[in-house]
Structure formats: C-alpha cells, structure tokens
Copies of this chain bind each other. A is one copy, B any other.
Amino acid sequence: MIKHNHTECRSAMMPVRDALDVISGKWKLQIIISIQSGNKRFREIERSIPKITSKVLAKELKDLEEHQLIKRTVYDESPVLVEYTPMPYAETLQDVIIALQKWGLNHRKKILGK
C-alpha cells in the first residue's frame, strides 16, 4: 500500500459513525441549541424552530432525553407545567455545534458569493 492505511481510515470513521447515531437527523442539534438558549417549554421550543411540528418535536425530545442530553421535569401544578432543560452532557456537544456553525456560515458565504 502506497500511502493510504486501511486501519487508520477505520479508526477515523468509526467514532464519527457513533456520534451520528446519536445526533443525526435534521432536528436534534437545533433542539439542543434552542434549549441551551433558554427555551424550556414545549410550545416555546416548537415556535423557536422553523417548520418543526409537534409530532416530530415530541419524538425527538424523547430521544434526547434517553441519551441524557436533556431533562424533562413535570411540575404538578394545574394545569401541568413541563420544562425541558439541558443536562451537563449536552455541553460536551459545544465543539460539534460550534464547528458546524462556523462551517455553515462559511458555506453560505461561499454559495452566495458566486
């Protein structure tokens, strides 16, 4: 083999796979960003994310809760009050989010600049 290394390639690819298994899809990172920005209530989060629907949001919130990225708290007032808050683990995604933000900004500039 000249220069490319099969093993090295695998060990670069696998962790990306593992990460994408958790945070892939159109909505998960957007929801985390919304909650990290201070949105707590279901409708509040829903309104903060263009085009998302109740059904999709409900499902994705469950996924994120299962992965311990957010916490769902029910305050038993009447009517019931529900709050979604970020777990500390969600902060570990900052580098990913920032890298994607930077790349997205740059990409938009590139596209519009043509």
Q: B-contacting residues of A (Cβ < 8 Å)? A: 2-6, 8-10, 12-20, 22, 24-26, 29-30, 33-34, 36-39, 48-49, 89, 92-93, 95-108, 110
Complex: how many Å from CA A101 to CA B96? Answer: 9
Beta-carbon contact of B99 and A92 below 8 Å = no
Interface of chain A, helix or strand or loop or mixed? helix
* Pairs of residues from A and B, 4 with the lowest C-beta to C-beta distance, nearest first: A4-B38, A15-B104, A19-B104, A18-B104
A18's contact among B10, B25, B96, B108, by CB below 8 Å, is which?
B108
* Given A22-B107, A26-B20, CB of A102 within 8 Å of CB of B15: yes
Question: In the complex, what residue of chain B is closest to A38 when comparing beta carbons?
Answer: B4
Interface CB pairs A-B, < 8 A, 30: A2-B36, A2-B37, A4-B38, A4-B39, A9-B33, A9-B34, A9-B39, A9-B48, A12-B101, A13-B34, A15-B100, A15-B102, A15-B103, A16-B29, A16-B100, A16-B104, A17-B104, A18-B107, A18-B108, A19-B101, A19-B104, A22-B107, A24-B24, A24-B26, A92-B103, A92-B106, A95-B102, A95-B103, A96-B99, A96-B100
